[in-house]
Structure 1
Amino acid sequence: MLLTLPLSIFNFLGLALYNLYPGAPEFKGARVNDPLICFRVVTKGTCPDLVKRNVERNINICNGLGLSNFIFEIVTDRFIGLPRSPSVREIVVPFNYRTAKKTLFKARALQYCLEDSVNDLKDEDWIVHLDEETILTRGSVIGILNFIAKGTSSFGQGVITYANEEIVCWITTIFDLSRVGNDYGILRFCLKHFRKPLFSWKGSYVVSNVGAERNVSFDFGIHGSIAEDCFFGLMAWKKGYSFDFIEGEMWERSPFSLTDYVKQRRRWVQGITLTFFSKDIPFKQKVGISFSLLSWITMPLTASNSVLAFLYPLPMPIVFHFLCAFMGGVMMFLFIIGALKSFNYKRTGLCKFLLICMASVLLLPCFVITETCAVVYAFLTFSTIEFHTIKKECRPNDDNFMHGQHTICNV
């Protein structure tokens, strides 16, 4: 029951010690020579219209801020045919490309971009990693420029919210409110205070110095192919690089169905498990994810115990009750913070806004059950590791065609 206590403590510190409403980021200092920023999007190429729309939107955000020294690199398995432009480069990963360690999936594509024959960037340039549905905001671009100008860290990350675009599935969007709360809590505290990704590292809204990223690389083998983001963060920490938190949020969308949601979480559980058992990362760097992993593994017991403890209460020390109440309170507060930061009552209306805030707490048992199903599913199917790509457009997508980017592999 107390395995999630470290996560709760660090989330509480992040929410309590830092301003939750710092205001929109503004440029710090004079902008003389903006560094070259490469916004890198990795896609299978099965949603070309989505990629084209979002690239155009994101370019408009950059142009609106007077940004001139930037490029969007679209790394794809299938040729998309983006309009020719000095600010857009389309990179098609060859069918027969293999890394030295036979890395698969998204990590394989990211490693291809770092090859000497493909990479056009200099070591002092910067990469901003985005998913194909990620939308930049004015605040996030300003935050990135401020982070780069600060010059104290090689890697940075910020907050992603999931309710600013069209909401396809309300229940998964409400479930993802906890991720927003985690970004403002544990992620922000660890990156600001310790300058290390102690518990987590996401795969999008990642800002990397090119020289540092090439040194760390994405060629991790199969153990780093499923949760390549987590593996990369821990490897960069192992190599002594510094991290920081970036002000300003980006926008994405939650899975379009509970099936996609469960499969997404299943991949995370399997990927972090493989990361934990990798011999390439010392245990020092894996202490944080070990708590996350243990809390996942024991979630079926925790969920059932919550019911049994209510039906058949046992005498427990007061401190135990206090800690359990603290962990439950922090979890609820993560959802509430996620709702407050994701929705605006002026946009939704006050009644709907309050209903969403209440629903984020009332649906907490459903969230626990769904996460438990994902964990059980992950370990029942561990012999075949699946890199499930969730739907990003409101249309069927059943294409899994790339060798080396295929969906299932044996471990």
Structure 2
Amino acid sequence: MRVMFLYRMKGAFCGYLSHLLTVLFLIMIILILGNTTAGNPENVSSNVDPFRKYGIRMTMILYSMRFLIFLTLPLPLFNFLGIVLYNLFPKLPGMKGSLTHHPLICFRVVTKGLNPRLVNENVQKNIILCNSLGLQNFIFEIVTDKFIDVSRIPLVREILVPFNYRTTKGSKYKARALHYCLEDDVNTLNDEDWIVHLDEETILTKGSVIGIVNFIAKGTSSFGQGVITYANEEIVSWITTIFDLSRVGNDYGILRFCLKYFRKPLFSWKGSYVVSNAGAEKKVSFDFGIDGSIAEDCFFGLSAWNQGYLFDFIEGEMWEKSPFSLTDYVKQRKRWIQGITLTFLSKHIPLKQKVGIFFILLSWVTMPLTASNTALVIMYPLPMPTILNFLCGFMGGVMMFLFIVGALKSFNFKRIGLWKFLLICFSSIILLPFFVLAETCAVIYAFLTFRIIEFHTIEKESRINNSSRRNSHIILSTV
């Protein structure tokens, strides 16, 4: 017992030490960038008149571009607080609840039914994990538009959404399917039961299952969410996977800070790794009409917040895959932009709940202009107050560091090797301009096609070879 206690203490100390070193590295990056944005002191002295050097119109444009970046200051600020205030390297969550005595946990997967093999394999993997941990009183529900025959698997219920089903407010796509599950003649859950929303490709981990059980046992919140990483299984596209490292950084930054400190989804809400109390979800519902049919996750989170429900962060990560191509990546972001814009314009959500997504939209729309400051600072130095130079460095440093955090949490440098890990981190910084370009293309695409609202589903079944498939079936059948 004493040896186990000392081992845990050593693990906790190493985690806190790693966190401290990571925070110091972040601060060093911010200071370096802050000093860089100050420009060459000889060129940017207070004696230089930029209006005379660049002309009145050019100077006004340059200053406007410099100040534009500060409109989105809350995003890097909250990311910074989440990264600094909460341990980035916590040990695996210990079991605080009970794996056997808890309300029913329903893992719910919504699918169009286009990837039956993927759904079958992932459901079996997740059931095997739950059984290996000793989890009791759980089921999996597969909600599909096309019959895929998964109900033959024990502990799985397949819910086929009728073709002619219509909600009261005319919700479409995933929101329609999710609301169908809440209908009285379909729903089999009691109000005290819990729903864990997963995507087709979502893989549970030991940490996430323990985190969910602990969250339910804690009993202080109706909704919870955790971190999703994208590089733990087969990587189909390295470019999109590196781009998605920023999403992992955001999960550990802004999402974690808002859910832990404010207990509210101030800056939107993801659609998977969502843990909901069944009774609360039924009251909020997913019948939002077309306004909430493209980004139903965001609309749902803000609606639940508006109704007074509390949220919390769940320890332990889940695994998913990044888009398999840049085309799918842009189409995915395009849908998010259109969906969040519709949510922001909706009259059904008060302005107070929409302040956070306003900054998200603002960051997307202004990204091409603010990113260009990196070159403009060098090409056209301007006299700027020291505090503004520091803020520029702060915002750029935090944005860059989100990719590094994503790499730290997505790749195990002990497994892949230190040099390969450093190469990935370096690549994320080198690819930053291309990341901005891809996001910019998505913004332009979203607003050029805004009148053509559609729910594009990206490809999710990877092109793995037949031997890998046979091996996975052997593993599944022998565990």
- Which amino acid in structure 2 is aligned with residue 387 of structure 1? F
User: 1:343 — aligned with what?
Assistant: 411
1:388 aligns with 2:427: no
1:57 to 112, 122, 125: 125
User: 2:43 — aligned with what?
Assistant: none
Structure with the higher fraction of residues in helix conformation? 2
1:188 aligns with 2:256: yes
Moved over 4 A (4+): 29-32
What is the total number of aligned residue pairs between the two structures? 396
Contact 1:303 1:369 in 2 (8 A): no
User: 1:144 — aligned with what?
Assistant: 212
Deviation at 1:104, TM superposition (A): 0.5
User: 1:75 — aligned with what?
Assistant: 143
After alignment, is 358-367 or 182-191 more displaced? 358-367
Q: What is the distance in 1 between the residues matched to 2:371 and 2:249?
A: 21
Structure 1 spans left out of the alignment, 5+ residues: 397-411
Percent of aligned pairs with the same residue? Answer: 77
1:202 aligns with 2:270: yes
Deviation at 1:200, TM superposition (A): 2.1
CA 1:353 to 1:313, structure 2 compared with 1: closer, same or farther past 3 Å? same
- Which amino acid in structure 2 is aligned with residue 206 of structure 1? V
**Alpha-carbon displacement from aligned partner over 1:380-400 (angstroms, at most 9, x marks no partner):** 11110121111101259xxxx
TM-score computed with the length of structure 1 as normaliser: 0.94
**Alpha-carbon displacement from aligned partner over 1:189-230 (angstroms, at most 9, x marks no partner):** 000000000012100000000000000000000010000000
After alignment, is 300-309 or 143-152 more displaced? 300-309
Instruction: Give the CA RMSD over aligned residues.
Output: 1.3
User: 2:362 — aligned with what?
Assistant: 294
1:250 aligns with 2:318: yes
2:393 to 307, 325, 333: 325
CA 1:46 to 1:345, structure 2 compared with 1: closer, same or farther past 3 Å? same
1:131 aligns with 2:203: no
Question: What pairs up with 1:115-130 in 2 under 5 angstroms?
Answer: 115-130=183-198
1:358 aligns with 2:426: yes
**Alpha-carbon displacement from aligned partner over 1:154-183 (angstroms, at most 9, x marks no partner):** 000000000001000001000000000100
Deviation at 1:306, TM superposition (A): 3.5
CA 1:344 to 1:373, structure 2 compared with 1: closer, same or farther past 3 Å? same
Q: What is the distance in 1 between the residues matched to 2:175 and 2:98?
A: 36
Structure 2 spans left out of the alignment, 5+ residues: 1-68, 465-479
Which secondary structure does the structure 1 equivalent of 2:254 belong to?
helix
Contact 2:101 2:136 in 1 (8 A): no
CA 1:305 to 1:379, structure 2 compared with 1: closer, same or farther past 3 Å? farther
- Which amino acid in structure 2 is aligned with residue 197 of structure 1? P
User: 1:400 — aligned with what?
Assistant: none
1:370 aligns with 2:438: yes
Contact 2:298 2:340 in 1 (8 A): yes
Question: What pairs up with 1:37-116 in 2 under 5 angstroms?
Answer: 37-116=105-184
Which secondary structure does the structure 1 equivalent of 2:239 belong to?
helix
User: 1:238 — aligned with what?
Assistant: 306
Q: What is the distance in 2 between the residues matched to 1:394 and 1:96?
A: 32
Q: What is the distance in 1 between the residues matched to 2:439 and 2:370?
A: 12
Which secondary structure does the structure 2 equivalent of 1:2 belong to?
helix
TM-score computed with the length of structure 2 as normaliser: 0.81
